[in-house]
Structure 1
Amino acid sequence: MHMHVALCAVLDPSEMPGGYRFEAIENLVLSRLDRLPPFTRRLVMDPLGLDHPHWIEDPEFDPIHHIRRVSCPAPGGSHELGRLVGRITSRPLPRDRPLWELWVVEGLAEGRFAIVAKVHHSAVDGMMGAGLMVNLFGMTREPAPEAPPPREEEHPVPPEPRPSDIEMLKSAARKRLAQPRKLVDLAKRTVERVGGVVERRRDPELAHGGTPLTAPRTRLNRPIGPQRDVGFARLSLAELKAIKAAVEGAKLNDVLLAVVGGALRRYLAHHDDLPEVPLVATCPIATGAGRGNNNVAAMFVPIATHLAEPEARLEAIQAATRGAKEEHAVLGKGELLQDWADLAPTTTFSVASSLYSRLKLSKHHRPVHNLIVSNVPGPPMPVYLAGAELEAAYPMGPILDGAALNVTVMSYRGQVDFGFMVARDVVPDVWRLADAVAPAFRELRDAVLGAPSEASPERSTPAE
């Protein structure tokens, strides 16, 4: 199972100092490694897999393994770029070096180029991903260094000694000895907090979120293969905010979920596969727990795909997200899940995940969820990479066995860019789904605002 996140950034090199050169991108990335700590770290495991992996500075770091160059097939439009990004994200990241790759994609329409950054989820979550973007991009057309930094500067942090096998086993043993007490305490807290959610749901006046393992089965919910495909969409941030402002209590994330729900309703209806109950989305949210590189938890939200009226769909999603957030707080804002994960050895998850996929167990129970939907804030102002202006930033997240779709959105400079990551063997027509975003948005906008806005024309994805 691939657990990397990705970003496809489309750039305009027309005013790039000195014109476009692959070497300029490479030199810039190498010169900024000191701002990107995960890019020079790798994982080491204890011999018995008793503990979680340890992060160390890679003493053998070599950028040749990480910065790649590729040409997009002609004519270099969004569909060709999406298929290429799907191929790039179909390959897992090698575990014996830092968990990232950066692909420079040349040959896009109208002279554009793209970079596709692929980073393992253990090294970076969505919020940190936006931070990495800020550190890689700049707010001016500052040119890239004329030459790569000296070899000794490519590794900005002196490599630390690799912990010995004995040291790692001692650390694992100390943690295991403390586990029985922690397990009793964690089990007690889990029972109390789950009981609090159950008690809360008995009150019919209170809104509540979704429940895992209750999602309806659709064509999206099958065992997945390793091949990925990608689609893109773009909407106006101002128009999305106008919808939010017109509905009392609505959040921007509610509006985005309503658009995604409308697009899925159209897609599943086309395939005669629209269930009578709502699809359930897992929505990652920041925990602020400060543990490692990845501080996210998840809430389950029914996205009202069973409702034909878009305004009613938005109202139902409003109530569901409000209830899910309140229940998330009752459960400890993700602390329980992280505590359970801390107690289990990495090998337990690895073996269980492998068996789950190999035995296709997702076919034998109700789906945990139908899809993942994530919202990542991006910069509101134009940003540049080696002097090339960023035109669009399409984020993508991992998919899990039994749920072949991840929709991640990022705001940038008055636009909202959608990245659709799918398992190609389950969803062979990702662009039918991506292309359903615009009509789903228009349907919601017209229902809420009463008429199309004259402020924004139809949006198209760059590289078309």
Structure 2
Amino acid sequence: MTGKRLTPMDAMFLYGETPQTMMHVGGLLPFAMAPDAPADFLRHLMQEIKTTAPVYAPWNLKLKTPGFLLNPAHQWIVDPDFDIEYHVRRSALPHPGDERELGILVSRLHSHPLDLTRPPWELHLIEGLAGNRFALYVKFHHALVDGYSAMQLLVRSMSENPDSREEVLFFSLPPRRRTEPAPPKAASSPLADIGAVLGRAVSLTKSVPELAASLVKLQLRRDGDLKHLVSSYEAPHSVLNARIGRNRRFATQQYEVARLAAVGKAAGATLNDVVLAICGGGLRRFLSESNQIGDKSLIAFLPVNVRPKGDAGGGNAVGAILATLGTDVADPIERLHVISRSTRKAKGQLTNLPMESILAYSAMLMAPAATQVFAAMTGMKTPMPFTFNLCVSNVPGPRHPLYFRGARLEANYPLSIPIHGMALNITCQSYAGTLNFGFIGDRDALPHLQR
């Protein structure tokens, strides 16, 4: 994670009953089998992994002290008893498996906590998908590797050449040599930003004087029209703001980026605005069907990467904004306009600010979420509105089709982290002209997530 590490109490607030083990993210990667692949391709791959595939750091490292939240040093050691068959497993759907059955399996796999006495990651080879397809499901703990680095490793383990058959899985990639060019430096993936921003807010890592200085730098922009700016404590109570358990539901959706971009261009909105409009429309229908639609719109917490003014190093500032999802607006076009005005006004608050002020302002904006998390965790009834109802992230991914030994990667669906008081997390990732949505939610709070 970025920023100051969470304390044990912070993690308990955010991630539920087993904070150490449930702070994992993952990805679902479906593939179309290569035309020349044998019927038992995954069996051969598993045999190769068991017998000859090397495993490099950090994938062979485990925590010296498994209760690592009590050990801020996070000391890692090579696992002397590393067992590749524990970390890489084969699963099969009843043939021919469909998308619903795949989602059910991944939901179950993602609900299982990681064993912190071992290197905290798992890879599942899933066969039996209809249409001569298979899938990879991978999950890993944030303490081992951040989302951005993991994505870079996944990209390195594949090729843009469909005729290549030399690719190896990510854990068999040797560390980059110092002479090799490093990938472009960027902030950690928004997959991790929810923990970074909320962790900073809950633990109040910024001092009061620093927050005050940030407010001064914001110049308290009251001279403009602020009616579309969402502030803390504007979110309504909803079914999403519940105490969560460890069991998850997972659903996916894929759209063509060109189609969404055309919608945004026609409306004078951004691609991210269209993403939020899609989420808002789906949530409005979901709440309406269960008679839970209210007069106030749901509010989304959006991790944002904002390059500081005058930053010659190309680094990104990781901040947070709040925006309406327009769930109180029936007309989809008007909903998109409402969302666009909201995000434009929120981003305007961060414009021309240095990184320190962006982080401090984001912490100040999200600090009231501690009350929300505590209320959901304890079941306490509070008359105060919540800070947000859910998190929506948009992560850039590879622009060109990727292949693993001739098998074409069809999509990359991210799985992020729900927390107490936020039973739904939506993350989407771009890939080869598509936008891939991963919906991860608490099983009990959202019994009809697929809808």
Any stretches of 5+ residues in structure 2 without a counterpart? 1-14, 16-21, 176-203, 309-315, 365-369
Corresponding residue for residue 209 of structure 2: 188
1:203 corresponds to 2:223: yes
Task: Select 2:106's aligned residue among 69, 85, 94.
Answer: 85
The 8 Å contact of residues 12 and 113 in structure 1, kept in 2 or not, is answered as: yes
Letter of the 1:395 counterpart = P
Corresponding residue for residue 344 of structure 2: 322
Corresponding residue for residue 400 of structure 2: 381
TM norm structure 1: 0.72
Corresponding residue for residue 96 of structure 1: 117
SS at match of 2:450: helix
Q: Quote the Cα distance in structure 1 between the aligned partners of 2:218 and 2:94.
A: 52
Distance 1:254 1:275, change over 3 A: same
1:228 corresponds to 2:231: no
The 8 Å contact of residues 159 and 167 in structure 2, kept in 1 or not, is answered as: no
SS at match of 2:430: strand
Distance 1:26 1:194, change over 3 A: farther
For residues 61-460 of structure 1, the aligned pairs below 5 Å read: 61-141=82-162, 142-144=164-166, 186-194=207-215, 199-200=220-221, 202-206=222-226, 209-248=229-268, 250-286=269-305, 296-328=318-350, 330=353, 332=356, 335-336=359-360, 359-361=378-380, 366-432=385-451
Any stretches of 5+ residues in structure 1 without a counterpart? 158-182, 341-348, 433-464
Report which stretch shifted further, 361-370 or 59-68. Answer: 361-370
The 8 Å contact of residues 42 and 96 in structure 1, kept in 2 or not, is answered as: yes
Q: Quote the Cα distance in structure 1 between the aligned partners of 2:54 and 2:402.
A: 16
The 8 Å contact of residues 43 and 95 in structure 1, kept in 2 or not, is answered as: yes
The 8 Å contact of residues 241 and 376 in structure 2, kept in 1 or not, is answered as: no
SS at match of 1:368: coil
Deviation at 1:368, TM superposition (A): 3.3
Q: Quote the Cα distance in structure 1 between the aligned partners of 2:436 and 2:42.
A: 26
The 8 Å contact of residues 27 and 144 in structure 1, kept in 2 or not, is answered as: no
Q: Quote the Cα distance in structure 1 between the aligned partners of 2:330 and 2:152.
A: 38
Q: Quote the Cα distance in structure 2 between the aligned partners of 1:216 and 1:354.
A: 14
* Cα deviation code 1:162-210 (max 9, x no counterpart): xxxxxxxxxxxxxxxxxxxxx998331112224555822x334257643
The 8 Å contact of residues 228 and 422 in structure 1, kept in 2 or not, is answered as: yes
Aligned-pair identity (%): 32
TM norm structure 2: 0.74
Q: Quote the Cα distance in structure 2 between the aligned partners of 1:338 and 1:42.
A: 33
Q: Which has the higher helix share?
A: 1
Q: Quote the Cα distance in structure 2 between the aligned partners of 1:301 and 1:368.
A: 11
Corresponding residue for residue 180 of structure 1: none
Q: Quote the Cα distance in structure 2 between the aligned partners of 1:116 and 1:310.
A: 34
Letter of the 1:190 counterpart = L
Letter of the 1:253 counterpart = N
SS at match of 2:304: strand
Instruction: Count residues with an aligned counterpart.
Output: 387
The 8 Å contact of residues 282 and 371 in structure 1, kept in 2 or not, is answered as: yes
Deviation at 1:212, TM superposition (A): 3.5
Deviation at 1:354, TM superposition (A): 11
The 8 Å contact of residues 249 and 449 in structure 2, kept in 1 or not, is answered as: yes
Q: Quote the Cα distance in structure 2 between the aligned partners of 1:78 and 1:309.
A: 30
Letter of the 1:7 counterpart = G
The 8 Å contact of residues 32 and 410 in structure 2, kept in 1 or not, is answered as: yes
Corresponding residue for residue 42 of structure 2: 21
Deviation at 1:383, TM superposition (A): 0.6
Deviation at 1:123, TM superposition (A): 4.0
Backbone CA RMSD of aligned residues: 3.8
SS at match of 2:349: helix
Corresponding residue for residue 171 of structure 1: none
Q: Quote the Cα distance in structure 2 between the aligned partners of 1:362 and 1:258.
A: 30
The 8 Å contact of residues 69 and 103 in structure 1, kept in 2 or not, is answered as: yes
Q: Quote the Cα distance in structure 2 between the aligned partners of 1:314 and 1:49.
A: 42
